[in-house]
Every structure is written in structure tokens, then in C-alpha cells.
Structure 1
Amino acid sequence: MSRDLVTVEQAAELLHLHPKTVLRYIRDGRLAATRVGKSYRIARARLDAFAGVASEQSEAAPGVRATCIVDIPDVCVEAAQRLATFLQAAATARPAGTSPLHLQTAFDPLARSMKVVVIASPSEVAELLEMLQVQMSYRV
């Protein structure tokens, strides 16, 4: 698994807390996390911000935006709807004060393919793509 996304257990270890405490923070909305299957994944940058740790990654210059188009082949209607819902939830679960993020999904039933368009800061695009990759790893 990537070092940019951590599990609840890893977050608890890094914060020196019990995993149930981290889960409570997530459920209370104090710590942003994305649900993947039956578990949560927390972006390392959000965990660092929650803990008050300065990020070691340098952010791109202010105003820099990245556009990414992802093509997901061989996907059924139900899977496309689940992915679109997951991505919208991940995009809206961002902390207040972050730069705007634009997310658009489109499904072509004849080609059985889905396209995802993300426009945001490079780090936010990377974070959303990583969450998409983790979600796609659960695809059967």
C-alpha cells in the first residue's frame, strides 16, 4: 500500500492513540477519511494537518491546477454508479479552505466504460487518484 494513505491502525500508531479513538474522530468529522470497503483510509497530508505537523512535501505554486482524465474500461452500470458516488464523497470530504476541486464522471453504457475528469491542485488530484486506485483494487 502507498505511504500517502494510511489505515486507522497506522494512524492510531502515528498519533499514539487507540484505533477506536481514531474511528471516533472520523465519525465525528474531526478527521477526514474515505471509506474503502469496510475500512477507512486517511490521506497522510490530512493526518499531518490533524496532528499539526508541517508537511514535508512542498506544495505547488499557488494557483497551479492539474487536469486529469481517467478512462476505466469494462465497467457495469452499478460499478460506475458506486465509483461516481465514492469519488463525489471523497471530493466533498475535503477540509474547508482548500482550493476548489472540480470532478466530473461520465458513463458510456454501449462501450461499458467510464471517464473521470478531475481539475484541482496537483497534490489533490494525486490524492483523489490514489483513492480511486485503492477502490479499483477491490473490483472483481
Structure 2
Amino acid sequence: MSASLVTVEQAAEHLNLHPKTVLRYIRDGRLPATRVGKSYRIARTRLDAFAGVASDQSETAAGVRATCIVDIPDVSVDAAERLATFLQSAAIAGPADTPALHLQTAFDPLAKSMKVVVIASPSNVAKLLEMLQVHMSNRL
């Protein structure tokens, strides 16, 4: 799989999954893919990010990486779940030619606070933070 785009069958073989499972992940939005005619093509970098594989190619292309931790106080359980889903969707929706964005969220129900950790290129971190700011300002 040296090409930058792979088929569903190649992705299934790489992930040790059935091709129908890969298609379900694509349709659910968990694995970004591009539709070509009646089939899908998956960017190799996105497939590696989905599989949790660090590729040397993406590390050299990544260059500078930024780590950002955001603390969000006074968050309910439902709001934390919605925010985590929103951020994961935003992280997945980025262009396929950029290095993978790593995102982790943690919710503390006793403190009613949420932490968001983002590791990506500075421009991608800035974009995600802007989206978070807009989302949070709409919440108020």
C-alpha cells in the first residue's frame, strides 16, 4: 500500500477487518474517505491515524507540532459528551493532506470540568481552538 490512496479492500486487509466493517466505519463518519464513482478511496495518512499507527512519512511531513491543553469549567455530563463529539468530528474533518491531529478529552464529574488536549501543527491547533471558541460562545 505505497500509494497515497487505498481501496476499501486494501484498508480492510491493513486493519485486519472485513471490507463491510470498513464501509460501515466510512458511512458512520469514523473513517474519512473520498467517493470515486461507486467505490471509496482512503488517504493512507488517515488510515494510519485511524489505526493508531505512527508513520515515518507523516512525522517528517509534520514538522513543527504544538500541544495545547484547554480547561473548561462548569460543564454538565451531557454538554461534555456533545462537546467531545463535536471536537472529534472537527478533528476528523480536516484535509487529508495534512498530518493527523491528535485529540483527547477528559471529563471530571466531581469538578464538573473538562480538559481537551490537542497535538497538531500550530495552524491546525489554532483552527480547532477557533471552532471550540465559536461552539462555546454559542452555548452561552
- Check whether TM > 0.5: yes
**How many residues get paired?**
82
**Over residues 76-122 of structure 1, what are the superposed CA-to-partner deviations in whole Å (9 max), with x where a residue is unaligned?**
00000000000000000011121111000000000000000000000
What TM-score do you get using the length of structure 2 for normalisation? Answer: 0.56
Rounded Cα–Cα distance in structure 2 between residues aligned with 1:87 and 1:137: 15
Give 1 or 2 for the bigger CA radius of gyration: 2
- Tell me the equivalent position of 1:138: 138
Q: Larger helix proportion, structure 1 or 2?
A: 2
Rounded Cα–Cα distance in structure 1 between residues aligned with 2:98 and 2:121: 9
1:8-87 equivalence runs, <5 A: 63-87=63-87
**Over residues 47-78 of structure 1, what are the superposed CA-to-partner deviations in whole Å (9 max), with x where a residue is unaligned?**
xxxxxxxxxxxxxx951000000000000000
Rounded Cα–Cα distance in structure 2 between residues aligned with 1:106 and 1:62: 25
Question: Secondary structure at 1:138's aligned position in 2?
Answer: helix
Rounded Cα–Cα distance in structure 2 between residues aligned with 1:76 and 1:121: 30
- Tell me the equivalent position of 1:110: 110
Rounded Cα–Cα distance in structure 1 between residues aligned with 2:72 and 2:114: 5
Gaps of 5+ in 1: 1-28, 31-60
- Tell me the equivalent position of 1:127: 127
Rounded Cα–Cα distance in structure 2 between residues aligned with 1:62 and 1:103: 16
Runs in 1 of length 4+ with deviation above 6 angstroms?
Answer: none
CA root-mean-square deviation: 1.8
Rounded Cα–Cα distance in structure 2 between residues aligned with 1:74 and 1:127: 24
What TM-score do you get using the length of structure 1 for normalisation? Answer: 0.56
Contact 2:62 2:99 in 1 (8 A): no
